[in-house]
Structure 1
Amino acid sequence: MKNIRIAVLSAILLAGISCKKEDSKVTANPEAKTENPVSNQKIVSISGGVTEIVAALGHEKEIVGIDVTSTYPESLKATAKDLGHVRSMTIEPLLALNPTLILASDKDINQDLLAKIKSSGVKSELFQQEFTIDGTKKLINQVAKALGNTNQQELYDKIDADLKQLQPIAKKPKVLFIYARGNMLMVAGKNTPMANIIEIAGGQNSANDFEDFKPLTPEAVVQSNPDVLLFFTSGLQGSGGVDGALKMPGVSQTNAGKNKKVIALDGGLMSSFGPRVGEAAVSLNKLLIESTK
């Protein structure tokens, strides 16, 4: 079961995720400067969420290497070398880029790579990524400090402005997130990133009798009885669209199945918990409101 959980979390990180409760809040600095600093850094960023922050802070052109979860901004595909997944990444291709700064998240990085990065002599920062709104702001602050940047305020403001667009939902719909990739079908329980974004968007996670992710079974789906099924866009497409989702085990016996309530969002947007986290919450909020009509 442990191996299954690691596999699904790693796979979901292709769009970027995991979960940890935030203990402290970040206070924005109203006097923060807004100019983009000029730098000659050569950055390797091996975390999708961290990469988004680096780019949003004005340092995209300094990124020379990324991991497979770094899918946004898309322009990086043409300018930065894809080093693969941090679980299987080796140090040699990374150091061949002659980086001056290596940035990484503690999620899923293999310990051999981490040890070699620390002993390489290259300046590096390892961040604890916490998939909440406050956790995102904390990560932005930490990445900005590592870059010698003072543009955090702009990103805090964007998140706050986006979140103000959330509309209340009178009766919170029960939402079941299904991760579908190939023959793998997993559902998200409590204390997962997907449960977090569902709740931020105004819904409630329907699978709260277990933690993390577990294989989809008819019993689990029926027991959770969701009002709405939520997928990554790619996962829904690969499952045969809405019709395919409605044929999944147990779905026809749920409110979602009976009412054909199936929604999907871009995986990178929904799971990165970077500067676009408010944007993701608002997009999901709109879909949930539509699903209640």
Structure 2
Amino acid sequence: MNQFKIPIVLLVLLSSCGRFSNEEKKEEQTDRIVSAAKQYTEIMYALGVGDKLVAVDISSTYPPEVKELPTIGYHMHLSFEGIMATKPTLLLEHGGKFSIGPEAVVDQLKKLQIPTKQFETKAVDIASTKQLIREMGIFFNATENVDSICKKLDNDMAIAQLERNKYSDTVKVIVIHYGQAMNIYMAVGADGTAGKMIEWAGGIIPLQKHGMERITSPEIIAKANPDVILLTDFGYDKLGSMEHILELPGIGLTNAAKNGKIYRIEEHDLIYFGPRTGENILKLQQLIHQ
């Protein structure tokens, strides 16, 4: 079978038609970087090198100006034609099992020897986040802003800690994320980025799991009985109304539903560590403790 053939439906869904039909931008740019990693995308803009990007995957949604770029599909369902249309000189991806896909597209990119880059540092806490920012600053020859970015992150974290000390309660929080790759709603486990951020904000995710779990039974959510439920933006908007949100398995049985504490949160504020993590924790504190 010719592995360069891609199903027509996939091409339609994941075409490179840009969020605002602007796929012709930056045609003459020398550095033509495509990012399939939302964390890298945000850090590039913070470093002042966002203009090197010619396309991103659809999960790259911060800062707002990134939405002016063409998209190459979801990072786990990339469009080969979409990527090649950008004439990339480099593809950024996190590396690891859930970095980019599908496998057929990855194989095609390898056969055409499209350069890819994964940064060595994995941001799993504040110290490693600052290290990643420094590593990317060196790679992009953009170190002049690194110290100020890291200092602001430290200051924001210090403020967030002071604010956390004002709260005597620990709020039980469930995060529900819509998995675009699998077209399902999933509950986020405590052992991950969201769990750590919620802990810093004065909450706890009562699901002692790593990664995410598909919501297949009302018992998963009802048994946890959270005080607050956070839905990431894509899934929240897809449902479109609180009535439909309450139809998700187990949601309507929780204290969060009974007390009207189900909130929308931007995925890019919760799913990865970056320059705004301190700011985002302060937002979380206001949200879950209100």
Which bin holds the TM-score, normalised by the shorter protein?
0.7 to 0.9
Give 1:186's aligned residue: 186
Describe the superposition over 1:18-69 as per-residue Cα deviations: whole angstroms up to 9, x where unpaired. Answer: xxxxxxxxxxxxxxxxxxxxx9633222211101111110112221222222
Amino acid at match of 1:132: D
Match of 2:118 among 103, 119, 126: 126
Q: CA RMSD in A?
A: 3.0
Shift in CA distance, 95/239, structure 1 to aligned 2, threshold 3 Å: closer
How far apart are the structure 2 equivalents of 1:112 and 1:143?
29
The 2-side partners of 1:141 and 1:60 are apart by: 16
Offset at residue 180 of structure 1 (A): 4.5
Question: Gapped runs of 5+ residues in structure 2?
Answer: 1-28
User: Equivalents in 1 of 2:247, 2:83: separation in Å?
Assistant: 44
Cα distance, 1:246 vs structure 2: 4.1
The answer to whether the 8 Å contact 1:103/1:124 transfers is: yes
Q: More displaced, 90-99 or 151-160?
A: 90-99
- What are the superposed Cα offsets for residues 189-213 of structure 1, whole Å, 9 maximum, x if unpaired? 23233222222222111212x4322
1:148: Cα distance to partner?
1.9
Contact conserved, 2:42 with 2:274, CA < 8 A, in 1? yes
Give the superposition deviation at 1:234: 3.9
- Equivalent residue for 1:84, pick from 73, 76, 87: 73
SS in 2 for 1:127: coil
Letter paired with 1:199: E
Residue pair 1:181, 1:238 contacting (<8 A) in 2 also: no
Show structure 1 runs of 5+ residues with no match: 1-38
Counterpart among 144, 147, 153 of residue 147 in structure 2: 153
Q: Name the counterpart of 2:156.
A: 162
Query: How many Å separate the matches in 2 of 1:224 and 1:199?
Result: 16
**What one-letter code is carried by the residue in structure 2 that aligns with 1:226?**
P
How far has the Cα of 1:115 moved from its partner?
6.1
Could you tell me whether the CA contact under 8 Å between 2:43 and 2:133 is conserved in 1? yes
Matches within 5 A, 1:216-231: 216=215, 217-231=217-231
Instruction: Tell me the equivalent position of 2:21.
Output: none
The Cα offsets for residues 108-144 of structure 1, whole Å up to 9 and x where unpaired, read as 2235655665676666421364443334223212222
Match of 1:143 in 2: 136
Distance 1:252 1:124, change over 3 A: closer
Equivalents in 2 of 1:278, 1:125: separation in Å? Answer: 27
Higher mean alpha-carbon deviation, 81-90 vs 278-287, is at: 81-90
Match of 1:143, as an amino acid?
M
- Mapped to 1, the partners of 2:42 and 2:78 lie a distance apart of 20
Select which of 157, 171, 174 maps to 2:172.
Answer: 174
Name the residue aligned to 1:288: 288
Offset at 1:147? 0.8
Instruction: Return the letter of the residue paired with 1:155.
Output: I
- Residue 38 of structure 2 contacts residue 59 of structure 2 at CA under 8 Å; is this kept in 1? yes
Out of 274-283 and 121-130, give the one that drifted further. Answer: 121-130
The one-letter code sitting in structure 2 at the alignment partner of 1:159 is L
Q: CA deviation at 1:271?
A: 2.2
Q: 128-137 or 265-274, which moves further after superposition?
A: 128-137
Distance 1:119 1:146 in 2: 25
1:125–1:146 CA contact under 8 A, matched in 2: no
Aligned-partner residue type, residue 55 of structure 2: G
Cα drift, residue 285 of structure 1: 1.1
CA distance in 2, matches of 1:237, 1:119: 38
Do residues 206 (structure 1) and 195 (structure 2) align?
Answer: no
**Corresponding letter in the other structure for 1:288:** I
Distance (whole Å) between structure 2 residues aligned to residue 90 and residue 256 of structure 1: 39
Q: Check 1:46–1:257 CA distance in 2 against 1; reply closer, same or farther (3 A cut).
A: closer
Residue 121 to residue 251, structure 1, CA distance change in 2 (3 Å): closer
Give the 3 Å change call, closer, same or farther, for CA 50–253 of structure 1 in structure 2. same
Taking structure 2 as the reference length, what is the TM-score of the superposition? 0.73
Among the aligned pairs, what percent are the same residue?
Answer: 29
SS of 2:273's equivalent in the other structure is: coil
Aligned to 1:33: none
